[in-house]
Amino acid sequence: MTDLINNLSLGFGVAFTFQNLIYAFIGCLLGTLIGVLPGIGPVATIAMLLPATYALPPVAALIMLAGIYYGAQYGGSTTAILVNLPGESSSVVTVIDGYQMARKGRAGPALAAAGLGSFFAGCVGTLILAAFAAPLTEVAFKFGPAEYFSLMILGLIGAVVLASGSLIKAVAMIVLGLLLGLVGTDVNSGVARFSFDIPELTDGIGFIVIAMGVFGYGEIISNLSQKEEDREVFTGKVQGLMPTAEDFKNMVPAVLRGTTIGSILGILPGGGALLAAFAAYTIEKKTKLRKGEVPFGQGNIRGVAAPESANNAGSQTSFIPLLTLGIPPNAVMALMVGAMTIHNIQPGPQVMTSNPELFWGLIASMWIGNLMLVILNLPLIGMWIKLLTVPYRWLFPAIVLFCAIGVYSTNNNTFDIWMVAGFGVIGYLFIKLGVEPAPLLLGFILGPMMEENLRRAMLLSRGDWSVFVTRPLSASLLAAALVLLVIVLLPSVKSKREEAFVED
Amino acid sequence: MKIKSQKDFFSGLMFTAVGAAFAYGATNYSIGSGGRMGPGYFPLLLGVILALLGSVIMFKALVVETQDGDKIGAWAWKPLFFIISANLLFGILLGGLPSLGIPAMGMIAAIFGLTIVASLAGEDFRLKEVLVLSVVLSIGSYLAFIVLLKLQFPVWPTFIAG
pLDDT value at residue B96 = 80
Residue A332, CA distances (Å) to A296, A316, A354, A398 in order: 30, 12, 25, 23
Which range, of A88-92, A475-479, B36-40, averages the lowest pLDDT?
A88-92
**B98: closest CA of chain A, how far (Å):** 11
Average pLDDT over residues A2-12: 78
State whether B102 and B141 are in the same domain.
Answer: yes
Kindly state whether residue B148 falls inside one of the protein's structural domains: yes
pLDDT tens sequence across B71-128 = 877 888 888 899 999 999 998 888 888 777 778 888 888 999 999 998 888 877 888 8
The whole-angstrom separation of Cα A94 and Cα A10 is: 36
Residue A226, CA distances (Å) to A60, A162, A223, A487, B75 in order: 40, 28, 6, 37, 11
pLDDT value at residue A139 = 77
Report the amino acid identity of residue A54.
Answer: Y
Whether B15 contacts chain A with CB within 8 A: yes
Number of domains forming the structure of chain B: 2
Whether B95 contacts chain A with CB within 8 A: yes
Shortest CA distance to B136 belongs to which of A397, A392, A38? A397
Kindly state whether residue B70 falls inside one of the protein's structural domains: no
Tell me which residue in B35, B75, B91 faces A432 most closely, judged by beta carbons: B75
**B67: closest CA of chain A, how far (Å):** 15
- Partners of B37 in the beta sheet? B32
Kindly state whether residue B81 falls inside one of the protein's structural domains: yes
Tell me which residue in A176, A408, A462 faces B18 most closely, judged by beta carbons: A176
Q: Which tops the pLDDT comparison, A226 or A447?
A: A447
Whether A454 contacts chain B with CB within 8 A: yes
Q: Which ranges in chain B belong to alpha helices (H)?
A: 6-26, 41-63, 77-95, 106-119, 127-141, 158-161
What is the widest separation between alpha-carbon atoms in chain A? Answer: 71
State whether B85 and B156 are in the same domain.
Answer: yes
Q: Do B91 and A191 touch (CB under 8 A)?
A: no
> Half-sphere exposure of residue B79, counting CA atoms within 13 Å on the CB side?
23
- State which residues form the domain around B28: 6-63
Cα Rg of chain A (Å, integer): 22
pLDDT value at residue B22 = 92
At residue A503 the predicted structure's pLDDT band, cuts being 50, 70 and 90, is very low
State whether B91 and B56 are in the same domain.
Answer: no
Number of domains forming the structure of chain A: 1
Phi-psi region of A84 (alpha: psi -120 to 50; beta: other; left: phi over 0): left
State whether B58 and B22 are in the same domain.
Answer: yes
For residues A415 and B137, is the Cβ–Cβ distance under 8 A?
A: no
User: ipTM of this model?
Assistant: 0.90
State whether B35 and B92 are in the same domain.
Answer: no
pLDDT tens sequence across A422-474 = 999 999 999 888 888 888 888 888 888 888 889 888 888 888 888 888 888 88
State whether B53 and B115 are in the same domain.
Answer: no
The whole-angstrom separation of Cα A458 and Cα A146 is: 8
pLDDT value at residue A504 = 39
Q: Do B39 and A434 touch (CB under 8 A)?
A: no
Q: Do B86 and A417 touch (CB under 8 A)?
A: no
Which range, of A53-62, A232-241, B43-52, averages the lowest pLDDT?
A232-241
pLDDT value at residue A274 = 66
The whole-angstrom separation of Cα A486 and Cα A494 is: 10
- State which residues form the domain around A68: 2-501
For residues B87 and A424, is the Cβ–Cβ distance under 8 A?
A: yes
Residue A15, CA distances (Å) to A129, A153, A155, A297, A482 in order: 16, 35, 31, 41, 41
Q: What is the DSSP letter of B144?
A: I
Shortest CA distance to A67 belongs to which of A333, A366, A311? A366
State whether B48 and B98 are in the same domain.
Answer: no
Whether B24 contacts chain A with CB within 8 A: no
3-state secondary structure of B78: helix
Chain A, 392 to 451: residues with Cβ < 8 Å from chain B are 392-394, 396-398, 400-401, 403-405, 408-409, 412-414, 417-418, 420-421, 424-425, 428-429, 432-435, 450-451
Task: Quote the pTM value.
Answer: 0.82
Mutation for testing the B interface, residue in A26, A64, A169, A431 having most B CBs under 10 Å: A169
State whether B36 and B90 are in the same domain.
Answer: no
pLDDT value at residue A162 = 63
State whether B108 and B156 are in the same domain.
Answer: yes
For residues B104 and B162, is the Cβ–Cβ distance under 8 A?
A: no
Kindly state whether residue B68 falls inside one of the protein's structural domains: no
Q: Do B94 and A222 touch (CB under 8 A)?
A: no
Residue B46, CA distances (Å) to A35, B18, B19 in order: 35, 11, 7
pLDDT tens sequence across A90-132 = 677 787 788 888 877 787 888 888 888 888 988 898 888 888 8
Q: Name, in order, each residue with C-beta under 8 angstroms of A31's C-beta and a sequence gap of 6 or more.
A: A45, A46, A49, A67, A68, A69, A70, A71, A72, A73, A74, A75
- Which residues on chain B are in Cβ contact (under 8 Å) with A182? 42-43, 46
Neighbouring CB atoms inside 10 A of A431's CB total 18
- Which residues on chain A are in Cβ contact (under 8 Å) with B63? none
A-B contacts at Cβ under 8 angstroms: 198
Whether A367 contacts chain B with CB within 8 A: no
- Which residues on chain A are in Cβ contact (under 8 Å) with B119? 393, 397
State whether B31 and B88 are in the same domain.
Answer: no
State whether B150 and B83 are in the same domain.
Answer: yes
Q: Which residues of A327-362 are buried (b: 16+ CB within 10 A; e: fewer)?
A: bbbbbbbbbbbbbbebbebebbbebbeeeeebbbbb
State whether B152 and B100 are in the same domain.
Answer: yes
Whether B67 contacts chain A with CB within 8 A: no
Whether B19 contacts chain A with CB within 8 A: yes
Mean pLDDT estimate for chain A: 80
Secondary structure element (H or E) that encloses residue A163, with its range: none
Per-residue pLDDT at A502 exceeds 60: no
Per-residue pLDDT at A411 exceeds 50: yes
Secondary structure element (H or E) that encloses residue A193, with its range: strand A192-193
**A377: closest CA of chain B, how far (Å):** 22
Mean pLDDT estimate for chain B: 85
Whether B77 contacts chain A with CB within 8 A: no
